[in-house]
Structure 1
Amino acid sequence: MPFGLEQTPYAIHVWLTTEAVFVATVFMPLKYALHRSPVCNRSIPAEYRERLFRACNANVPNVEKYLNRWLMVSEADCIKRDNVKDFIRWAFFEPGYTREQDRQNEEEIETYTTETEKLIGRKLSPGRLDVKGLGQLLNEAGGSHRSLLWYTVSYISLALMLYNGFNFHRSTLSRFCTIFPFRPLTILTAYRSPARHLTYWYRRHTSKKRLPVLFIHGIGIGLYPYTSFLRDLNSELETGATADGEVGIIALEIMPPWKKM
């Protein structure tokens, strides 16, 4: 044993050993998988691409503003034609796009770019602005190490939602090891989500006149950063409860899959 460690309490030895096992068996394989797994891993036929393109345009009220934010430029006028083409390649074609595939699909890409110009209402400037869009950032997804102790604290914080009137609705037990961070409550809860890839926390809704609250969190490790907000919201709704009944809360957990089932 290295000098000095013989004086370390046994509990610290156990903790450090557990952390080392966690890094070797969970964190490192997960980080490797993230670097090798693209956001989208299969191509779609041309007719579906066109249908998807038109469906997207029908649901985007301001295409220019959307592209401006996606490409993360300060002024819409900075968007150039090749930037839009890069976005189209990322959004509608498979990853690992080769030059040969680009030549084969150039006419289709050009058509989508021209259609985008019509939606914007002006011709885009030629060339490419040196920016890194959100699509490229998503493809560069990585991982930062957090200790097993940190995850344990986050689990305890989530479990405390049970005492605030929430029930956890799990995915199938077969998906327990495919979601990270793991959800131990998946094994313990009796409630099951009707959606295969979606879990959520639910506070009972009894009101006949008012709608329940739907909460959708941002990118992260699920609902852990928002537990205090949900607790306060729950308390406020309980205080404002009327004879009509209670307003419920549905808090979705959008967890990234570790591996495909």
Structure 2
Amino acid sequence: MGWTGLICFCYFLLALEVFGLPGISHPVSIAIESYGMLEILWYLFWFLPYKSYLQKPGIRLEPMTRAQRRAMIRSLLNTVPDILIFLRGWFAKAHLDEIYREDVMDWMLWALWGTESFEGVDMEEMDEYIQEAEIKAGSRLRPGRGGAKPIRVNIDPVKMVHRSLLFYGLIGFLDVNAAIFMFFQGFSFWRQPRSNFFKVFPPRLQTLASLNASAAPEFSYFYRRHKCKRYRPIVFCHGIGIGLATYIPWLMTIPKDIGVLAIELLPVSGRICPEAASSSVFKEGMRKILSQQGIDDFVFVGHSYGTLLARPLLEDPVIEPMMNSMVLCDPVAILLHLPDVAYNMTRREPKTAPELEISWGAALDPRIAHTICRRLNWQEHYLLREHLIGRRTTAIVGSRDCVIHPDAVASYVYYGDVNYTSADVEEWKKTPEEWTGRGELELYYLYDRDHGQSLLIPNESVQITEVVEKYCRIDGGPDPKLGAKDVDTPEPPPKHPARSHFSVLTDSNMV
């Protein structure tokens, strides 16, 4: 019945046992007991039906052609550090002796066809992909089933925890205060239709108070007007948690002349609200919002979940030309086909404080869990090198990131492959000093930092602002890290004795 309701019920029993009727009839006791009753009713008559409702099927994967599936599986297999560890990860750390051929076929049905049925699936094509995986692994899978169950995020039950009325009350308090604070910092709030006031809990007073209506009814956002022609504005998509409130300290480090459009993603912000929009609705909504604010050239900044929204924008013919450059913090989208994100968000039992924060504090929230498991198809959101070329992109990776596979992502961004060794970490540690902002794909490696700490720790958040500000410059002014050197006259990237750095220089028209 939730911890708060259970605690209040235990208080009632204890007061009755120790003090009798006077104990439970005291005004303080009556207040505690009344609140406890509300929490128990909330659990029984809201959470349990809501949990059942959120198990319904989600967005179906758009069918792919055989050529598309073949190209995808080959591209992904080439970016797997260890195929056997890869298989174990997608089978929730099961032993290899438990993973048989038909078990892998179950996983491939979901990964490539988005289904759990063999109906309409070409078994010859399936065998082709399994053989390629066996060749890469250097061993053959045993026929039949071994009992291991694959992780199939869109098919498996949605795991979630109960959120108390007290929790939602705190979220509402932070939400209102964050909106007031951002207003005094020069941000205007662009609301969803006022009818949405009754569809979101805790209620959002700013939805009633704001005179500005978002052009996209599915999204609200904060916008600080862009004032400087020498810079580009920023479009920011946040990660899972409690919304934009946790990002306010970082947003305040961005120079006030640079415009900031911060999209609110309520389904991943710890609220009860309508389900997350599909990729097509998101792209359409972003077109309307960018047009509403007259933005046609911007720097995209995504954090964690927000990086998953980069690919839909990159594939939109209207928005893609507007994206001058990207900063991807804690980039869960890069190498999303590796099992780490799926396992860590849906299966892992937390053992450390950061893992507990990610799991209980975010991933197991009912609407967040539903968004991850029912409103996303990883096949439509993962990022590889071919998606990122053509513009300047920086990936900011913490060495202790407990959500992604930080070493594999760092190696892929830095070298273009996942064939890394422990010695490579020493090279990556130098990237904050060597970063220039002129490479097509650059790594910014934060040693001894975990997921989320790039934007939440003051020292690191200031560094991230410097990266973003460099990308925002239009006039090719001097880089504070390079003295009087001009960004339009780039030097070759640094040479590393062990391996060649992947990043190549951009054309001057990208700067």
Q: Under TM normalisation by the shorter chain, which class is it?
A: 0.5 to 0.7
Q: Which has more helix, going by share of residues?
A: 1
| Structure 2 portions without partners, runs of 5+ | 1-11, 277-511
CA distance, structure 2, for counterparts of residue 214 and residue 247 of structure 1: 11
Q: Which of 146, 168, 173 is the matching residue for 2:163? A: 146
Residue 247 of structure 2 corresponds to residue 235 of structure 1 = no
Aligned to 2:36: 16
Q: Which residues in structure 2 correspond to 1:12-51 (within 5 Å)? A: 12-34=32-54, 36-40=55-59, 49-51=63-65
State the Cα distance separating 1:59 from its structure 2 match.
10
CA contact (8 A) 2:169 2:202 kept: no
Structure 2 counterparts to residues 90-239 of structure 1, below 5 A? 90-91=110-111, 97=116, 101-102=117-118, 104-107=119-122, 109-112=123-126, 114=128, 122=136, 125-127=140-142, 133-136=150-153, 139-162=156-179, 163-164=181-182, 165=185, 166-173=187-194, 183=204, 185-208=206-229, 209-218=231-240, 220=241, 222-223=242-243, 227-228=245-246, 230-238=247-255
Instruction: Answer whether contact 1:168 1:200 (CA < 8 A) is retained.
Output: yes
Tell me the distance in 1 between the aligned counterparts of 2:262 and 2:217: 17
Aligned with residue 7 of structure 1, among 7, 23, 26: 26
Deviation at 1:7, TM superposition (A): 0.4
RMSD, aligned CA: 4.5
Residues 90 and 149 of structure 1: CA distance in aligned 2, closer, same or farther (over 3 Å): same
Give the letter aligned to residue 141 of structure 2. P
**Which amino acid counterpart does residue 30 of structure 1 have in structure 2?**
Y
Q: Which amino acid aligns with 1:7?
A: H
| Distance in 2 between residues matched to 1:11 and 1:200, nearest whole Å | 38
Check 1:53–1:193 CA distance in 2 against 1; reply closer, same or farther (3 A cut).
farther
Paired positions, count: 237
Answer whether contact 2:191 2:207 (CA < 8 A) is retained.
yes
Q: Is the 8 A contact 2:197 2:204 kept in 1?
A: yes
The residue aligned with 2:260 is 248
**In structure 2, C-alpha distance between the alignment counterparts of 1:90 and 1:189, rounded to whole Å:** 44
- Report % sequence identity: 19
User: Aligned equivalents of 2:73 and 2:178: distance in 1?
Assistant: 35
Aligned partner letter, 1:210: R
- Distance in 1 separating the partners of 2:238 and 2:74: 20
SS at match of 1:250: strand
- The one-letter code sitting in structure 1 at the alignment partner of 2:159 is G
Report the secondary structure of 2:262's partner residue. Answer: strand
Residue 167 (structure 1) shift: 4.1
Q: 1:89 aligns with which of 102, 109, 113?
A: 109
Unaligned runs of 5+ in 1: none
What one-letter code is carried by the residue in structure 1 that aligns with 2:26? Q
Letter in 1 for 2:171: S
After superposition, the Cα gap between the structure-2 partners of 1:195 and 1:148, relative to the gap in structure 1 and judged at 3 Å, is same
Query: Could you tell me which amino acid in structure 2 is paired with residue 26 of structure 1?
Result: W
